[in-house]
Amino acid sequence: MRRRLVVSSLVTTFVAIVLFAAPLAVVIHVVLLRDADAGLERAALRLAGALDPAGLAGSARAAVARDVAGRSAGVRLAVYGPDGRLVAGEGPATTPLLSLDDPWPRQSDAAGSRVVEIPVEERGVVVALVRAAEPTTAVRVRTVQSVLGLAALGLLVLGLTALVARRLSVRVSAPIQDLTTATRALAEGVFAVDVRRTGIPELDEAAAALTATGERLGTLLEREAGFADDATHQLRTPLTGLRLAVEAALAGPDRALRAGLGTVSEATDRLVVVVDDLVSLRRPAGSRTGDPQARPLAPEALGRMAGSRWAAAYARADRPLDVLVAARSAGTTAAEAAVRQALDALLDNALTHGRGAVTVTVRDAHGAVAVDVADEGDTARLPSAELFRRGVTTAGGRGIGLALARSLVAAEGGRLELTSREPTRFTLLLPGATAPDSPAPTGEPA
């Protein structure tokens, strides 16, 4: 590529030089011809001024002999008498005379020479003719010298063009090579590409687009890779409850069987919701636009989401669960599936690893909607960052739930933070929705 850029630059420059130099050479030749004629005219006028019409032959010979400058410049001078015959100097033996009515100086080409002739008059009568001649080869030599100078200048321009083209080709081809390398890396599964910026807008835009593509592909594949673990974690709790309910029903009397079948039905419903949510959340957030789940969630809906789904589980564990809705806003624009799964992870974590009563509070938080999930336990022995890392839990387990909840909320533009260690309180901050008529706070348990 570099070689093609250099060659194309040189060819373009060469064509431009030829198109410019060819007419310039013609102009230079015409200018040199006019300059030669002007020099011949000056030499002829100088000789004519030195002539004495009374003693034409003697004065002509003396004047021609004294004109050393003209001879040294290659100019041949001649003086002709009133009869047109050569009196002194170098030239043909005869030449036609000029009358005072004829335009002068008379210019012509004769026998390979450039000729200028002017008349010498005395009292209105032409008494002599002065002739100055120079070989046309002298003009050609000066023209060739000028053209050679142009050619040398053209070669210099070509050399400079080659240097500049080489530097430009390096500047252009290097980032293109970087783009090619980054593209190959993407094809091989390396998505953390970062193409250096060059200051060339078009290439920088391509580099930024390629970097963004790599980041998006990496995020999508990471999402796909974590889907199995997330699904396993979210399905484990209802499957465990389903298994225990079936075992209890099989081991007990008919009344226990009916109660167990009710628990099985409840767990089955929860499994269906979990599967639907996971399938919905598997798609990128932008592709869920227009989904009913993407409509704003009212604060009351958030409270019901926590209370109705977990009331039975907490009742079986003999743990109090209180849900308070104190928000005045229109709710949140976060996807219902993401919020539901995040709340499930927090409530499951509080039920499994927390202690005492659990309180869920939905409140306003400066343009956002905050959902606090608090219990009477503590997390003082673990750093905050460790709590949200996969593989770490407050008290055993696989440690996916909190990490999953944080990633789901972050994908919707929100945050999940540990806001109190003792007692333990986690806070979901969800993006707020605006509406003309905001619902009034209930302050009642959902």
Residue 103, classified by CB atoms within 10 Å of its CB into exposed (0-12), middle (13-18) or buried (19+), is: exposed
Across the chain, which has 446 residues, the per-10-residue mean pLDDT values are 76 85 85 85 83 76 65 75 84 80 78 85 82 84 86 88 81 73 75 71 77 76 62 64 67 61 64 62 50 70 87 89 91 88 89 91 92 88 69 48 83 90 91 59 38
Q: What is the pLDDT of residue 400?
A: 57
Name the β-bridge partners of 128. 120
| Cα 146 to Cα 141, 270, 274, 285, distances in angstroms | 9, 96, 90, 74
The identity of residue 54, as a single letter, is: A
Exposure class string for 269-292: b at 16+ Cβ within 10 A, else e: ebbebbeebbebbeeeeeebeeee
What's residue 293's pLDDT?
A: 46
Tell me the whole-structure pTM to 2 decimals: 0.42
- Residues in CB range of 446: below 8 A, 6 or more apart: 300, 303, 304, 306, 307, 308, 323, 324, 325
What is the C-alpha to C-alpha distance for residues 236 and 266, in angstroms, rounded to an integer?
Answer: 15
List, in sequence order, every residue forming a beta bridge with 260; answer none if it has no partner: none
pLDDT number for residue 225: 60
Question: What confidence score (pLDDT) does residue 436 get?
Answer: 43
pLDDT of the residue at 275: 64
Per-residue confidence (pLDDT) for residue 260, from 0 to 100: 60
